[in-house]
Chain A
């Protein structure tokens, strides 16, 4: 039936693939002209709510936030946004000159820099394991991915309880193995807190890179390994010269996604170390950019300043984010 697909236009939508302009379409000219008006009605009905939602809840507020970022809007002083004064880029300058801003930014990047290698190492190891053939592999895969599907706040809580200094299970476990002689307060030192935040973030997220890497591993043809074996290479050099180079694209995807996730870390920190239930002070030692932004806007009520910070965060993650969208967009629209 390949012969007929080029005789019709998009509105008739028969056959897929190549379509003629509407005036040359066989059907459109005598039978299905009414479909044309029904097509546009369909598109309007289906897309209008989506466009409205996105315009109203995402893009309009985004523009509004940018305008706010150029005012001195502070809820403690101004009851309404209209009374705030235009200040140009003062807020941005104020932030960049503020020591706390650099501290928080540094901390956010530190979280990213520790989390990403940790996650990739764990994910690569597990993916290699799951790529082996053994009975029970399916069950194993299902169980391994579980933590990723749980709420981040619960994960923070789970680990907070595990690491508890007085009654924590980690203490009990290590003590019973004889590895520690007395119970430790794992979350007491500021440096340790940040480390544990990255561990919990790794625990929450490692499943994603594992799945990506596993899919990558499964697409490597067996023959390559067989050929290398014939040439007498050992297991280690096969990983080094075959597995690794061929996995690079998978690592790329995983790194981009995990960068965004780690850079915008919030839930896990909130329950693990932020120590801030309603209204309490926020632990300064694990305050990352997102928590800092929350604090500025919703605790300190310095809305203008917080709005400026949100745009600085946008610029910082924009570059990596755009790579991601570009890939998704290409897959969604152009590969037809």
Chain B
């Protein structure tokens, strides 16, 4: 018996949607559970053996707790989580926006130079920048820590921003170079014949056309800085500069474990990347795959 085309299509789609459901459970269940945990009451969250998959009375109590009280998390020393959360949030926002902004400016200027100009040592400099990519970062970090201590840049936002800008450079320069190269020559020819110098070209012709590339560089820079853990782990000590990723780990592994509060802290930490991933994914993917996908 041969099925009609429509029936065949329906079977195919049903099959596909079942697979989609499985994939979505794999991809989203952990995120869903931490979000649910953060708005559950303690009794419901700790229910066993039957779990309550959605709270009967959703509450924002945990968020209120982590931002207003504290003192129960950190080992030994008395340190209110409230202050840690707000300083962490502030530090994360400052370093990710500052690093992303600076690196976008630097990479746009350099991207134009690499894409459109000819100068001595161009390939050597480009290679030197790109060689950073596979370099296991420890090789630099160990000595850098002592250098930064001598300069008193450890545990400062400035120190973090400088390091992040440097680490973001290879990816950003590469992105802008390929991006500027794709801008057609014809547009800048007229200006060039009139004698416009490079600054004028970049400012009035390349900048408007390269905006999507710059947005991608900025977003990738912001995301990587926000998500980074290793750099602040080494270069921060106090709430002067500790970002949220560090604050979150300070909550974990203490004797009094309040999972609902920690879940709330985790949700706060992952919310900005989550939102960026939902709304700006096209830009982020382009940047993070280094042009392996257009």
Instruction: Give residues in A with beta carbon < 8 Å to B.
Output: 1, 10-17, 19, 27, 31-32, 34-35, 38-40, 42-43, 45-47, 49-51, 53-54, 57-62, 64-66, 68, 81, 122, 126, 129, 132, 134, 136, 140, 142-155, 157-162, 164, 166-167, 169, 171-173, 175-176, 182-183, 203, 208, 211-212, 214-215, 253, 260, 264, 266-267, 270-271, 275-278, 280, 290, 293-294, 297-298, 303, 306-307, 310-311, 313-314, 317-318, 320-322, 324-325, 328-329, 331-333, 336
A16-B185, A134-B13, A332-B130 known; A167 vs B169 contact (CB < 8 Å): no
Shortest distance between the CB of A178 and any CB in chain B (Å) = 11
B131–A47 CB distance below 8 A = no
Q: Decide if B117 touches A10 in the complex (CB within 8 Å).
A: yes
Closest-CB distance, A252 to chain B (whole angstroms)? 11
The CA-CA distance from A214 to B285 in the complex, in Å, is 13
State whether A157 touches B266 (Cβ < 8 A): yes
B30 pairs with A158, CB closer than 8 A:
yes
Given contacts A39-B117, A151-B273, whether A126 and B293 have CB atoms under 8 Å apart is no
CB distance from A216 to the nearest CB of B (A): 9
Q: How far is the CA of A276 from the CA of B223 in the complex (A)?
A: 25
Q: How far is the CA of A316 from the CA of B206 in the complex (A)?
A: 41
A149 and B284 form a contact (CB under 8 A) = yes
Interchain CB contact (< 8 A) of B166 among A34, A58, A182, A297: A58
Contact B245 A153 (CB under 8 A): yes
Q: State the Cβ distance, B152 to closest chain A Cβ, in Å.
A: 15
- Determine whether the beta carbon of A146 is less than 8 Å from that of B28: yes
Which residues 229-276 in B have Cβ within 8 Å of A in the complex?
229-230, 233-234, 245, 248-250, 252-254, 259, 262-263, 266, 269-270, 273-274, 276
What number of B residues sit within 8 Å (CB to CB) of A?
115
B97 within 8 A of A: no
**Which single residue of chain B is at the shortest CB-CB distance from A66?**
B139
Binds A, one of B45-53, B54-62, B63-71, B83-91: B45-53
A14 to chain B, nearest CB (A): 5
Closest beta carbon of chain A to B5's beta carbon, Å: 15
List, in ascending order, chain B residues with CB within 8 A of A147's CB: 27, 30-31
Name B's A-contacting residues (CB within 8 A): 13, 16-17, 19-20, 23-24, 26-31, 33-34, 37, 45-46, 48-51, 74-75, 106, 109-110, 112-114, 116-119, 122-123, 125-147, 162-163, 165-166, 169, 173-174, 177-178, 181, 185-186, 188-189, 192-193, 195, 197-199, 223, 226-230, 233-234, 245, 248-250, 252-254, 259, 262-263, 266, 269-270, 273-274, 276-278, 281, 284-285, 288-294
CA distance A236 to B262 in the complex (A): 47
A126 near B23: Cβ-Cβ < 8 Å: yes
Contact status A211-B289, CB under 8 Å: yes
A314 and B135 contact, CB distance less than 8 A: yes
What are 26 contact pairs spanning A and B, CB under 8 A?
A: A13-B117, A17-B185, A39-B198, A43-B119, A50-B169, A53-B169, A54-B132, A58-B140, A58-B166, A64-B147, A65-B142, A134-B17, A140-B20, A147-B31, A148-B288, A151-B226, A151-B227, A154-B270, A158-B33, A167-B46, A176-B49, A203-B30, A278-B75, A298-B234, A314-B135, A331-B291
